[in-house]
Amino acid sequence: MTVSIWRYSHMILAIVSSLFLTLASLTGIVLAFEPISNAIQPYAIEEIKEISVAQAVTVLKERYDEVFTLEVDENDFVTASVITEEGNIENIYVHPVSGEKLAVVKEKAPIFTFVTNLHRSLFLKSIGRFFVGLFSFLLCLIAVTGFFLLIKRQGGWKKLFSKIHKDYFELRYHAILSRWFIIPIVIIAGTGVYLSAEKFSLLPIDDIEHSVETDDQQVYEKHLLNELPVFRDTPLNSVRKISFPFSDDTEDFYQVEFKDKEILVHQYTGTIVSEMNYPLVKIMTDLSLLLHTGRGSILWSIILLITTGTILFFMYSGFVMIMKRKKKVKTTKQYKTKDECEFIILVGSETGSTYNFARLLYNALIEAGQNVFIADLNTYTTYQKAKYFIVLTATYGEGEATTNARKFEHKFSMITPVSEMNFAVVGFGSLEYLDFCKYAIKVDGLLHGNSKFKPVLPLYKIDNQSSEAFDDWVQQWTSRIGINLNIETFEQDRRTIKFKVLNTPSVNSDNTFLLNLLPQEKIKFQSGDLLAIRPEKDAKERLYSVSKIGNEILLSVKKHELGLCSTYLSKLKENELLEGVIKTNKEFHFPKQVSEIIFISNGTGIAPFLGMIHENLNRRKVYLYWGGRTPDSFRVYKDFVGRGKLTKQLDHIKIAYSQENDNKEYVQNLILKDTSLISSVLERGGTIMICGSLKMQKGVLDVLEEVVMMKLNKMLSDFEDRGQLKMDCY
């Protein structure tokens, strides 16, 4: 319930404020250039810390007929208001040592004047300032609610800067950028609120007033300015403004303003006749102005510029997320009521992605002539004719229910099913998180604990919304219940590319073969990217991890007896053309800034590593662990590996054979023999890359968990969070 409140608050506040925030961000981007353009002017005094107030004041009084004020701004520019020899009153940039006029202070550029008024008051004066303050406050609330949602999404404070789960661009970078820009956004919004409150006199008023008693009868001996300690010992850069006496009367003083106080100095004796500290409200107002505008700091101005641009991106990406969620969770047309259906599909989905799979299953069952009802997990109730109960659910945050599933556990404990149902639970998540499919595990446990529910299959977990894994579950489930389903494919909008087949595949005793392909147009790809192939127009695409050897693609394919795509590939002939789509897989590219890399694979999972070995031109230390059935299984890769060893692009390789005589060995056994090397590579910042079957991945991760705990007294997730563990398994 709490997460839902925060989410809807975040969304509603953003929608209500969207027009203003767009305008404020656009004008903010323009205004961020003003302090930058000011700071690059050639009037900064480099040695200002070494110059005393006495030195500057003396030279100005000598050079000009009269001096009214002397100011030092945030950029260490020194300006003075003076009367020149020609009798003109000018506001000029001066050099405090020579008194030389550097330039006349120009008025604010018209573009900045226009945009400033628009930014501050929307040209509506007081009413506009009120709305600016109000929407600045709403921006604070948007930032706070969004940050809370990010913490929940990541699974707690400690995981705030852990790896962001791979998702579509807008959602992923909405989360990534919010981590880095939450503080600047809060500063911008908070200072905007504060400055608006100050303009409306909502803050405590505590103006300072000097009270000085003077004796007009007393005669004072006039001292030179450089003899007055208060001027002689004060560096010029510590002063903000000096107002000179209007006359020679003893009741006229030098008024010196610092950052935190203001003093009156007797013009003859140099005595400080009054000293008043600025109230906290004024200090905070000055600080807020600097933080909000970026005055005096090019770096902070650039940060403000990027931040305001990021706010625009947040609004765009937030809108995309709302539309995607609305599109994905739109009500599916129900052909029957819940009490008329034999198949009940309940869905737990946070972003709507899980609904894609649920809808595919729903449509396939309808097409097969079944009565099906689909709804949120929150709607769980009794079902009069239900025989099959299917739950497809994601996990939110630290193993919690998604928003549309948060009521399920309570309802399940309160409602008694009418009759027995055969159930299956499918969990969706990411292996990058420790709480992988944790909520699905919980739901599966609840159903197992109720005698009215009989399992058809064990809990099935799907990593990164894998359509291949979902197809596998559908096949297992339908074979158990005795029906045939035709699951539709997800829509693909990527343009296919033609590839020329360079060799006629030769299948070995392990039903494995290599396929060399040459792209027929110039494309960018790396080893570890994926090639999506459809053997037939309406068939499900199959993904193959590619190895880049020069400009060619090398695929390692396992031919399955009933495999549509692998059979199609095995029958290709030299010079034939194949169509496919390259899918970038940045998370599984060869690390560029790492000195040691360990490759772990089994079977055809070695493919991307062959290309990465070829890519290792800098001769970084690379270790390969591979598992196969027999020596004949490895023979197809032998030349590539041997060449890598010969050129020292591969340091060593260790192989495990699971079907060689009676000595069965798996790749995880090799890791147990090399615990010292594995742990030392991780400790030195090296990377481990795993590619192959999910079964192998699980075994390897279990062993690695033991190794790092035993050798380094750390969790494997610590290294995964630092990007030292990369996986691409199937």
pLDDT at 644: 92
Contact 92, 101 (CB under 8 A): yes
Q: What does the pLDDT average to over 519-545?
A: 86
Instruction: Establish how many alpha carbons lie within 13 A of residue 617's alpha carbon, considering only the half-sphere containing its beta carbon.
Output: 3
pLDDT at 708: 92
DSSP code at position 72: E
Task: Indicate the residue among 481, 507, 524 that finishes a domain.
Answer: 481
Contact 579, 498 (CB under 8 A): yes
Beta bridge partners of 263: 256, 275
Residue 382 and residue 311 share a domain? no
Alpha carbon of 496 to those of 377, 514, 605, 622, 720: distances in Å? 38, 22, 24, 34, 34
Round to whole Å and give the CA distance between 667 and 108.
Answer: 70
pLDDT at 270: 82
Highest mean pLDDT among 167-171, 186-190, 202-206, 402-406: 186-190
Instruction: Establish how many alpha carbons lie within 13 A of residue 533's alpha carbon, considering only the half-sphere containing its beta carbon.
Output: 21
Q: Is residue 178 very low, low, confident or very high in pLDDT (cuts 50, 70, 90)?
A: confident
Task: Indicate whether 60 belongs to any domain.
Answer: no
Round to whole Å and give the CA distance between 602 and 693.
Answer: 7
Q: Is residue 501 over pLDDT 50?
A: yes
Q: What share of the chain is helix, strand, coil (3-state, %, to 5)?
A: 45, 20, 35
Round to whole Å and give the CA distance between 585 and 109.
Answer: 48
Round to whole Å and give the CA distance between 356 and 551.
Answer: 36
Task: Indicate whether 120 belongs to any domain.
Answer: yes
Alpha helix locations (H) across 451-563?
467-481
Q: Is residue 223 very low, low, confident or very high in pLDDT (cuts 50, 70, 90)?
A: low
**Cα 30 to chain centroid, rounded:** 25
Name the least confident of 37-46, 197-206, 421-430, 613-622: 197-206
pLDDT at 219: 56
Residue of higher predicted confidence among 246 and 302 = 302
Residue type, 296: G
105-145 pLDDT per residue, tens: 988 889 999 999 988 888 888 888 888 888 888 888 888 88
Domain encompassing residue 413:
329-481
Task: Indicate whether 213 belongs to any domain.
Answer: no
Q: What does the pLDDT average to over 703-725?
A: 88
453-455 and 388-394: which strand pairing?
unpaired
For the chain, percent of residues with pLDDT exceeding 70: 92
pLDDT at 318: 84
Q: Is residue 473 over pLDDT 50?
A: yes
For the chain, percent of residues with pLDDT exceeding 90: 46
Q: Is residue 516 very low, low, confident or very high in pLDDT (cuts 50, 70, 90)?
A: very high
Q: What does the pLDDT average to over 519-539?
A: 86
Q: Is residue 493 very low, low, confident or very high in pLDDT (cuts 50, 70, 90)?
A: very low
pLDDT at 543: 87
Phi/psi of residue 471, nearest 5 degrees: -60, -40
Which tokens is 399 given?
Answer: 């193993």
pLDDT at 174: 85
Q: Is residue 11 over pLDDT 50?
A: yes
Contact 686, 597 (CB under 8 A): yes
Round to whole Å and give the CA distance between 90 and 577.
Answer: 79
Round to whole Å and give the CA distance between 205 and 209.
Answer: 12
37-94 pLDDT per residue, tens: 988 999 988 888 889 999 999 899 888 989 999 999 989 999 999 998 888 899 999 9
Task: Indicate whether 564 belongs to any domain.
Answer: no
pLDDT at 678: 93
Q: How far apart are the first and last CA of the chain?
A: 36
Residue 336 and residue 318 share a domain? no
22-36 pLDDT per residue, tens: 898 999 999 999 999
Residue 468 and residue 386 share a domain? yes
497-501 and 89-94: which strand pairing?
unpaired
Round to whole Å and give the CA distance between 243 and 255.
Answer: 5
Residue type, 64: Y
Residue type, 33: F
Q: Is residue 230 very low, low, confident or very high in pLDDT (cuts 50, 70, 90)?
A: confident
| Overall number of domains in the chain | 3
Residue of higher predicted confidence among 247 and 421 = 421
Q: Assign residue 360 the CATH number of its domain.
A: 3.40.50.360
Residue 164 and residue 32 share a domain? yes
pLDDT at 229: 83
DSSP code at position 65: S
Computed over every residue of the chain, the mean pLDDT equals 87
Q: Is residue 333 over pLDDT 70?
A: no
Task: Indicate whether 233 belongs to any domain.
Answer: no
Q: Is residue 7 over pLDDT 60?
A: yes
Residue type, 146: G
Nearest residue to 543 via CA among 729, 701, 699, 357: 729
Contact 690, 728 (CB under 8 A): yes
Contact 711, 679 (CB under 8 A): yes
Which tokens is 387 given?
Answer: 């025989």
Contact 140, 193 (CB under 8 A): yes
Instruction: Establish how many alpha carbons lie within 13 A of residue 32's alpha carbon, considering only the half-sphere containing its beta carbon.
Output: 19
pLDDT at 703: 92
Task: Indicate whether 657 belongs to any domain.
Answer: yes
pLDDT at 555: 94
Round to whole Å and give the CA distance between 140 and 186.
Answer: 6
The strand ranges marked E within 569-671 are: 577-583, 596-602, 621-628, 652-657
Residue 437 and residue 376 share a domain? yes
pLDDT at 377: 93
Contact 445, 458 (CB under 8 A): no
Nearest residue to 237 via CA among 525, 456, 463, 44: 44
pLDDT at 325: 66
Residue 438 and residue 304 share a domain? no
pLDDT at 645: 92
Q: What does the pLDDT average to over 188-210?
A: 84
Residue 464 and residue 372 share a domain? yes
pLDDT at 496: 82
Q: Assign residue 647 the CATH number of its domain.
A: 3.40.50.80
Alpha carbon of 286 to those of 50, 240, 291: distances in Å? 25, 12, 9
Q: What does the pLDDT average to over 410-436?
A: 88
Q: Is residue 1 very low, low, confident or very high in pLDDT (cuts 50, 70, 90)?
A: very low
625-681 pLDDT per residue, tens: 999 988 888 999 999 999 999 999 999 999 999 887 777 889 999 999 999 999 999
Residue 343 and residue 306 share a domain? no
Name the least confident of 164-173, 254-263, 525-534: 164-173
The strand ranges marked E within 49-196 are: 66-72, 78-83, 89-94, 101-104
Q: What does the pLDDT average to over 451-470?
A: 88
Task: Indicate whether 282 belongs to any domain.
Answer: no
Alpha helix locations (H) across 164-274?
169-199, 229-232
Confidence (pTM): 0.56
Q: Is residue 161 very low, low, confident or very high in pLDDT (cuts 50, 70, 90)?
A: confident
670-688 pLDDT per residue, tens: 999 999 999 999 999 999 9
Residue 141 and residue 8 share a domain? yes
Residue 347 and residue 424 share a domain? yes
Quickly tell me which residue has 């694979």 as its tokens.
Answer: 601
Residue type, 156: G
Residue 382 and residue 307 share a domain? no
Task: Indicate the residue among 425, 449, 481 that finishes a domain.
Answer: 481
- The string of DSSP letters for 603-624 reads GGGGHHHHHHHHH-TT--EEEE
Residue 309 and residue 401 share a domain? no
Task: Indicate the residue among 420, 451, 481 that finishes a domain.
Answer: 481
Task: Indicate whether 504 belongs to any domain.
Answer: no
